[in-house]
């Protein structure tokens, strides 16, 4: 046969070549060309039946041919076997023939490979692919068991053979025949044989056989297979991956999967890294709704890491490779390990995307990296992740260290979801909570730190978008992040410098602080250590700065000054320490020093003719020197230049008499030393200022003079720059300029006395301007010398502080008689732009002489403005600014007699800002100042101390600073395109320091503030002592008492602002809080051991509560309560002190305050409201407290004369009754609403307690409602309507469920409760009628909702009676419309009739008459009453 095949090979090839050119069908050609390769029958039933069914066996490597459709073949063969005479024996013969035929490996291979189909595709009824002969035979049920047995007998022959030349493995090919069979006849036997085969197969085939099980076995065998595989899993850990992969595809019992899960969890520590993806996939796919959280928790716990991370395994594998010397393959292994980690997270992302329970479980686990991954998987999860992150950030559950750990560990995975992370950061940036904005900034920061160049570019682009957004909080935070990124990776930021440079186009809409940051960022990138880089940025910055400096528009010139000074500071920064090359550093410094000097000279030349521009330049330069350390040579040049300019412009000799025709006598005033005629210096203020006014008047019709002159308006700012230069050069020592502390000023006598009324308006304005300039000079002097340590200097600083207080009193006198006066500017900023006088504004135009218009400076009308007004009009005519006027400055109130009361707070923009270091003066006690003679010998000594007026001056300023920095909202969403910053006027220097720095400074001041607080406490204690004589009390004048009371209040305000700061909740500020509490607690008891926070809070509370005896005013008492509440917020168990707080609040309410305080203080009602709320919120029994006020205080008030108060509660008067009434109603409703609704599962004692509580609440409600008959004003009636409805609704939700199951056992109590409530609802019904009769829309708008609630109450009571089988006790009647006094309203329809007791069941009549409890509601039983809003139903229950 074989030889015949070989002889016919050449013939076949010829026939195939000829047939290819003919048009005969392919099937017919195939039949003709392969007839010679057919297997001879030789009497074999196997071959014969196959051929009769349509399949022809071929020899050699030729495919078996199938001439009919596969389904038809199987049907024909099945029928041939069943109809064969020898059936069922023929089956055995057929299988034996198959075994004989497949003994040849080629024949077996042909039977395992697909057959060649000979029929047309159009005639095919089944699939378009051909199955193998074995696969077709396995589809016949009567042949399947025998053929499967035969196959398993042949598999062992090929288990240990290698693959053929064509890549076919016979063992795999045989097992593949068993996959996806339509029906398995004997699944149990097949399972047993498969498991037996797996047990003896080599490892490589074991993997394939195991993973094939789900495709071979039916669902009925999954449980058995799972059991067998679990045993194999225990025996052979190398098969873990394929077995777990199979488990994910089998239908197994949850309990069984739980056991497998526990088994796998125990092996996690020994599993290879490359096996983790499959293991995690199994663990996540095997979870259920009830086990998801448990599985995720176990997974994280058994991995033994903080989060789901695998860095330790990567490092271990790398170190192991290096130790073995496999350096060449370590790179590949590292990449493989990284790929495994990525695959693990891909598995988790897939599970999260399609399994909601897994996503929720990771939510609860609070892994930051997983939350970011969840955020990127689906749009549906984004809102949930954002909400969770916001809550956790606000509760300080996510710290920066946790986020850093997540990014440093998961950067391989997180960089793939970089767009989602940036989207999340952008969303968080839009929050109003600064903590959430900071978290968003950290996302940007760590994305830039750990991701690749492309992601870094996206980060910078996103931050630049925030900078240009116009939202203040976004801009500030984005700029801070960019500054951090420069420090983090300057080289990477230089690559993205072009993006940052785009922010120069948006400078016009930014605040000065934001402009400083932008120029700082760009300057740092432009003038980096590497020479020759970023030159294009330098050129652009120089162009922008020169253009802005040459502008005549205020805001543009401001940008140029800030930019130039900031850039100069970066260029001249001292880099001597980090430099490596001394010679190179010197060369670079020399070149940059030349650039710096030329740049500063350019700024000076562009600003010297404009007082406001010069002042801005000096202030900006002073801030630069204060913040940065300049190179020594540059600082020396700057210091010498500033010193010479100041001395030439403002300082003259004491003996030099001022020249000029002045309207007032000029004297050297406010000197602290006795000068002879030969020595000493004087500040030449009046001559210089008057000279400027004269020059301005002479230039009224001419162009601005180019002659250089120094304006007196720049005195304070120039001195600030001078003293900071000297302090920086001499490490804080100001001996070189200490003469400026005590030197006098050339001034007229500023005290107006009786001359004020006789002065002309021009003279008043001149004196007022001089007073402002002198005040600002002294403020800067105090700023400069406040930290000097010598007693002599301290004494002089205290003297200057007294001068400040005295000058403020003088200034108030002038301002009271000059209503339209606008002071000279003190500091120039965009925030104070609207406060500056301008010639182009409408108000300023009215103040000028008529007929003098245009851009030239005009002379001021002597009756309206001072000559200083014209000094500010230069270069501002092109500014598009809002008009200034007295609406911005003069917000005084006028008394009945026409006297104007001036508040200097409205002029804050025109005072120089006090530095935070000034408050170190609070440490001063008694200071001995030595008065020296001409030979520097001690001539006399003088004791100086901080007086009440000076203390109040400092505390007021400190309180304003803390209010602005600490109690302001976290994020101010103020658009940069609008006028903004008004709340920050006068705090520009303060805002250049961090909040933590400010808090640290205040904590350092706690000790002296406690000393002052105790001294004031002792003052009022002694003042109130009974044994004090009248003469002693007279010494304490009313003014002194008022000043001490104000100091008391300001001290409490400062302490409250400190301890109410929300930043203490942040972990990084816990140390600050601990230090502050230690100061307070040490006032009671000194201890060397560090105490826990809870103990410190308790001792601090006890210390502060002792001051309540001496509070001089109701407002001080309120601030003391707020301070104590702020302390309790820091406690973990605040309830221990709540009752004490309530007791203190009650004492304030029960105390008779000084007569007239209520009339003098317009905010007294607000303070009373707050104190009363604190009392009722913190008392242990709100109902008892309300009953005490209504049962004791109100009756006393009703019976007292008209203008008197309650004797028990002196704060309760007829004017304040509305406050008491509103707070009591609100707290009553809040209390009952917070009660838990009763349940049947509660104990009997709980039911009784709740029922008793509701009885008390309804009784208090009844007392309060009845008060409206006495006090029937609109506010009282409005409160009754509003809170009456809320009380009824709370009764329906909280009390009626309790009555449902309490009625049977406490029948009488329930009826009494309902009867009392019925009386209350009847009053509410009367109130509704009264509101309609009065036709007051403010009241009637509450009527529909109230009546609806009353109707629901009727229905609910009826339902309760039905539930308790007392339906016959329900009785309805119609109420008449009545007014508050019970009088019937005449408009009532007389046709409606009342129901009587005869409507009830006969057996209940007598009982109802004895225990009737009626309820208000709409009469639903009568159709004719439905259209009348005034009708309401009564129901009686018994």
What is the C-alpha separation between 448 and 439, in angstroms, rounded? 14
Considering all CA atoms of the chain, what is the largest pairwise distance in Å, rounded to the nearest integer? 151
Of 1040, 813, 1038, whose CA–CA distance to 949 is shortest?
A: 1040
Is the predicted pLDDT of residue 203 greater than 80, yes or no? yes
Whether residue 126 contacts residue 70, with contact meaning beta carbons closer than 8 Å, is answered with yes
Torsion on CA atoms 696, 701, 706, 712, rounded to nearest 10: 10
Q: In the numeric block, which tokens belong to residue 9?
A: 């090979």
pLDDT in tens, 264-280: 777 766 677 677 777 77
Give me the phi and psi of 125, to 5 degrees please.
-95, -20
pLDDT in tens, 767-783: 999 999 999 999 999 99
DSSP 3-state percent helix, strand, coil across the chain (nearest 5): 65, 5, 30
- Provide the percentage of residues in the chain whose pLDDT is more than 90: 26
Residues sharing a CB contact under 8 Å with residue 676, sequence separation 6 or more, in sequence order: 934
Q: Following DSSP, what letter does each residue of 179-238 receive, concatenated?
A: TT-S--S-HHHHHHHHHHHHHHS-HHHHHHHHHTHHHHS-GGGHHHHHHHHHHHHHH-GG
What is the C-alpha separation between 553 and 530, in angstroms, rounded? 37
Quick one: pLDDT band at residue 894, thresholds 50, 70, 90?
very low
Task: Determine the pLDDT at residue 313.
Answer: 42
pLDDT in tens, 969-1008: 433 433 333 344 456 777 888 888 889 999 999 999 999 9
Which range has the worst mean pLDDT, 558-562, 706-710, 724-728, 764-768? 706-710
1312 versus 1122: the higher-pLDDT residue is: 1122
| Sequence-ordered alpha helix ranges (H) in 533-684 | 535-549, 554-571, 582-607, 611-627, 632-650
Quick one: pLDDT band at residue 518, thresholds 50, 70, 90?
very high
Whether residue 850 contacts residue 840, with contact meaning beta carbons closer than 8 Å, is answered with no
Is the predicted pLDDT of residue 585 greater than 90, yes or no? no
What is the C-alpha separation between 193 and 191, in angstroms, rounded? 5
| SS3 annotation, 21-77 | CCCCCHHHHHHHHHHHHECCCCCCHHHHHHHHHCEECECCCCCCEECCCHHHHHHHH
- Which of helix, strand or coil describes residue 1042? helix
Calculate the average pLDDT of the chain: 77
Quick one: pLDDT band at residue 464, thresholds 50, 70, 90?
very high
Task: Determine the pLDDT at residue 1324.
Answer: 87
Is the predicted pLDDT of residue 751 greater than 50, yes or no? yes
- What number of residues does the chain have? 1438
| Per-residue b or e along 85-98, where b marks 16 or more CB atoms closer than 10 Å to that residue's CB | eeeeebbeebbebb
Chain position carrying tokens 């002198």: 774
Of 830, 812, 719, 722, whose CA–CA distance to 772 is shortest?
A: 812
| Sequence-ordered alpha helix ranges (H) in 699-790 | 715-729, 739-742, 761-785
Chain position carrying tokens 């009847």: 1322
pLDDT in tens, 640-695: 999 999 999 898 888 877 776 777 888 888 888 776 555 788 998 888 888 887 76
CA distances from 1137 to 1085, 1126, 1132, 1133 (A): 19, 12, 11, 8
Quick one: pLDDT band at residue 841, thresholds 50, 70, 90?
very low
Task: Determine the pLDDT at residue 531.
Answer: 54
61 versus 337: the higher-pLDDT residue is: 61
CA 381 to chain centre: 20
Quick one: pLDDT band at residue 1147, thresholds 50, 70, 90?
very high
| DSSP code for 169 | -
Q: In the numeric block, which tokens belong to residue 1433?
A: 């139903």
What is the C-alpha separation between 1142 and 1105, in angstroms, rounded? 12
What is the C-alpha separation between 1359 and 1370, in angstroms, rounded? 10
pLDDT in tens, 613-639: 999 999 999 999 988 888 888 888 888
Give me the phi and psi of 621, to 5 degrees please.
-65, -40
pLDDT in tens, 310-344: 444 444 444 444 444 444 445 555 555 666 767 77
In the chain, what is the straight-line distance between the N-terminal and C-terminal CA atoms, in Å? 113
1072 versus 15: the higher-pLDDT residue is: 1072
């Amino acid at each position: 046969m074989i030889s015949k095949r070989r002889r016919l090979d050449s013939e076949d090839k010829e026939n195939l070549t000829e047939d290819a050119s003919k048009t005969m069908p392919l099937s017919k050609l195939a039949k003709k060309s392969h007839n010679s390769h057919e297997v001879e029958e030789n009497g074999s039933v196997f071959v014969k039946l196959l051929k009769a069914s349509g399949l022809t066996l071929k020899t050699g490597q030729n495919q078996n041919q199938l001439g009919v459709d596969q389904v038809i073949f199987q049907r024909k063969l099945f029928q041939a076997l069943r109809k064969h005479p020898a059936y069922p024996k023929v089956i055995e013969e057929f299988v034996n023939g198959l075994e004989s035929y497949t003994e040849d490996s080629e024949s077996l291979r042909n039977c395992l490979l697909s057959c060649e189909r000979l029929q047309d595709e159009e005639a095919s009824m089944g699939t378009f692919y051909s199955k193998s002969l074995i696969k077709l035979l396995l589809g016949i049920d009567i042949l399947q068991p025998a053929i499967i047995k035969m196959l398993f007998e042949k598999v062992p022959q090929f288990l240990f053979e290698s693959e053929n030349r064509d890549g076919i493995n016979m063992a795999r090919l045989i097992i593949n025949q068993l996959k996806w069979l339509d029906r398995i006849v004997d699944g149990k036997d097949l399972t047993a044989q498969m498991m037996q085969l797996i047990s003896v197969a080599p490892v490589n085939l074991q993997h394939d056989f195991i993973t094939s099980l789900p495709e071979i076995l039916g669902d009925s065998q999954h449980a058995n297979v799972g059991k067998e595989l679990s045993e194999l899993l225990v025996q052979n850990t190398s098969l873990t991956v394929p077995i777990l992969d199979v488990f994910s595809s089998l239908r197994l019992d949850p309990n069984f999967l739980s056991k497998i899960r526990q088994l796998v969890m125990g092996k996690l520590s020994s599993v290879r890294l490359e096996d983790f993806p499959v293991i995690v996939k199994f663990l996540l796919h095997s979870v259920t709704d009830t086990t998801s959280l448990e599985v995720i928790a176990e997974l994280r716990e058994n991995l033994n890491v903080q989060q789901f991370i695998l860095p330790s395994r990567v490092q271990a594998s790398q170190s192991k490779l290096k130790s073995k010397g496999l350096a060449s393959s370590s790179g590949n292994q590292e990449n493989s390990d990284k790929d495994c980690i990525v695959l693990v997270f891909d598995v988790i992302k897939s599970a999260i995307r399609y399994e909601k329970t897994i996503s929720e479980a990771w939510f609860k686990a609070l892994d930051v990296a997983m939350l970011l991954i969840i955020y990127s998987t689906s749009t549906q999860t984004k809102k949930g992740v954002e909400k969770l992150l916001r809550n956790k950030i606000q509760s300080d559950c996510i710290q920066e260290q946790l986020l850093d750990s997540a990014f440093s560990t998961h950067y391989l995975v997180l960089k793939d979801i970089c767009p989602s992370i940036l989207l999340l950061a952008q969303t968080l940036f839009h929050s109003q909570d600064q903590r959430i904005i900071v978290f968003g900034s950290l996302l940007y920061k760590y994305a830039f730190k750990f991701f690749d160049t492309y992601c870094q570019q996206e980060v910078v682009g996103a931050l630049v978008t925030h900078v240009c957004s116009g939202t203040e909080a976004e801009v500030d935070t984005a700029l801070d992040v960019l500054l951090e990124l420069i420090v983090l990776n300057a080289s990477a930021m230089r690559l993205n410098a072009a993006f940052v440079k785009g922010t120069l186009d948006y400078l016009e809409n930014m605040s000065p602080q934001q402009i400083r940051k932008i120029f700082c960022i760009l300057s740092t990138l432009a003038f980096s250590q590497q020479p020759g880089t970023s030159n294009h940025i330098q050129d652009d910055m120089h162009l922008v700065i020169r253009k802005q400096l040459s502008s005549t528009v205020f805001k543009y010139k401001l940008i140029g000054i800030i930019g130039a000074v900031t850039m100069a500071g970066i260029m001249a920064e001292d880099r001597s320490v980090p430099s490596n090359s001394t010679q190179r550093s010197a060369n670079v410094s020399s070149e940059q020093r030349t650039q710096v000097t030329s740049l500063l000279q350019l700024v000076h030349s562009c600003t010297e003719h404009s007082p406001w521009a010069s002042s801005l330049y000096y202030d900006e330069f002073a801030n630069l020197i204060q913040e940065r350390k300049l190179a020594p040579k540059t600082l020396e040049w700057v210091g010498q230049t500033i010193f010479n300019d100041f001395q030439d412009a403002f300082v003259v000799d004491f003996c030099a008499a001022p020249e000029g025709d002045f309207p007032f006598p000029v004297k050297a005033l406010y000197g602290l030393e006795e000068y002879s005629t030969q020595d000493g210096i004087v500040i030449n203020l009046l001559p210089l200022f008057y000279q400027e006014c004269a020059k301005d008047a002479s230039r009224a019709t001419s162009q601005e003079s180019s002659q250089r002159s120094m304006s007196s308006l720049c005195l304070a700012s120039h001195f600030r720059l001078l003293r900071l230069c000297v302090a920086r050069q001499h490490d804080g020592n100001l001996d070189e300029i200490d003469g400026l502390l005590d030197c006098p000023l050339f001034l007229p006598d500023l005290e107006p006395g009786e001359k004020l009324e006789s002065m002309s308006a021009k003279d008043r304005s001149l004196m007022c301007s001089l007073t402002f300039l002198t005040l600002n000079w002294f403020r800067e002097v105090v700023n400069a010398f406040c930290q000097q340590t010598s007693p002599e200097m301290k004494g002089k600083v205290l003297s200057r502080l007294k001068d400040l207080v005295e000058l403020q009193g003088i200034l108030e006198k002038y301002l009271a008689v000059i209503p339209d006066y606008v002071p000279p500017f003190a500091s120039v900023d965009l925030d104070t732009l609207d406060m500056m006088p301008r010639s182009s504004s409408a108000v300023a135009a009215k103040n000028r002489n008529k007929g003098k218009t245009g851009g030239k400076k005009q002379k001021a009308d002597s009756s309206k403005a001072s000559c200083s007004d014209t000094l500010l009009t230069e270069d501002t005519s092109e500014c598009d600014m809002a008009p200034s006027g007295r609406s911005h400055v003069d917000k005084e109130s006028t008394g009945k007699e026409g006297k104007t009361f001036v508040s200097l707070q409205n002029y804050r923009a025109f005072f120089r800002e006090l530095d935070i270091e000034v408050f170190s003066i609070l440490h001063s006690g008694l200071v001995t100042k030595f008065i020296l003679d001409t030979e520097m010998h001690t001539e006399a000594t003088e004791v100086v101390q901080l007086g009440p007026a000076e203390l109040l001056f400092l505390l007021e300023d400190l309180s304003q600073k803390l209010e602005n920095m600490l109690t302001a909202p976290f994020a101010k969403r103020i658009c940069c395109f609008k006028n903004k910053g008004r709340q920050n006027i006068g705090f520009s220097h303060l805002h250049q320091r961090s909040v933590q720095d400010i808090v640290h400074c205040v904590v350092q001041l706690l000790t002296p503030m406690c000393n002052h607080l105790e001294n004031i406490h002792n003052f009022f204690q002694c003042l109130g002592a009974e044994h004090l004589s009248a003469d002693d009390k007279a010494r304490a004048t009313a003014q002194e008492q008022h000043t001490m009371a104000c100091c008391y209040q300001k001290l409490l305000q400062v302490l409250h602002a400190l301890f109410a700061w929300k930043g203490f909740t942040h972990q990084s500020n816990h140390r600050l809080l601990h230090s502050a509490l230690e100061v307070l607690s040490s006032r009671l008891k000194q201890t060397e051991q560090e105490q826990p926070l809870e103990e410190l809070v308790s001792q601090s509370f006890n210390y502060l509560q002792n001051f309540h005896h001496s509070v001089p005013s109701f407002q001080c008492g309120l601030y003391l309560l707020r301070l104590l509440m702020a302390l309790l917020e820091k406690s973990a168990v605040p309830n221990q002190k709540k009752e004490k707080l309530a007791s203190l609040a009650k004492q304030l309410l029960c105390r008779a305050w000084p007569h007239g305080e209520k009339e003098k203080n317009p905010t007294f009602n607000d303070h009373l409201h707050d104190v009363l709320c604190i009392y009722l919120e913190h008392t242990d029994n709100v109902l008892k407290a309300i009953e005490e006020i209504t049962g004791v205080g109100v009756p006393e008030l009703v019976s007292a004369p008209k203008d008197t108060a309650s004797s028990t509660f002196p704060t309760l008067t007829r004017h304040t009754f509305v406050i008491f009434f509103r707070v009591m109603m609100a707290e009553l409703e809040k209390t009952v609403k917070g009660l838990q609704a009763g349940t049947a599962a509660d104990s009997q004692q709980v039911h009784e307690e709740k029922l008793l509580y509701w009885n008390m609440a309804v009784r208090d409600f009844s007392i309060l409602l009845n008060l409206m008959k006495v006090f029937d004003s609109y506010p009282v009636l409005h409160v009754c309507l509003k809170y009456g409805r809320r009380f009824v609704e709370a009764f329906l939700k909280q009390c009626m469920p309790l009555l449902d199951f309490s009625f049977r056992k406490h029948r009488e109590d329930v009826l009494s409760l309902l009867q009392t409530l019925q009386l209350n609802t009847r009053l509410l019904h009367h109130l509704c009628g009264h509101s309609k009769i009065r036709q007051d829309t403010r009241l009637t708008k509450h009527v529909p909702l109230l009546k609806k609630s009353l109707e629901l109450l009727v229905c609910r009571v009826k339902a309760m009676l039905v539930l308790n089988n007392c339906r016959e006790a329900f009785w309805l009647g119609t109420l008449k419309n009545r007014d508050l006094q019970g009088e019937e309203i005449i408009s009532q329809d007389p046709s409606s009739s009342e129901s009587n007791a005869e409507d009830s069941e006969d057996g209940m009549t007598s009982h109802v008459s004895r225990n009737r409890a009626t309820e208000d509601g709409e009469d639903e039983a009568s159709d004719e009453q439905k259209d009348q809003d005034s009708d309401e139903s009564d129901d009686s229950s018994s």
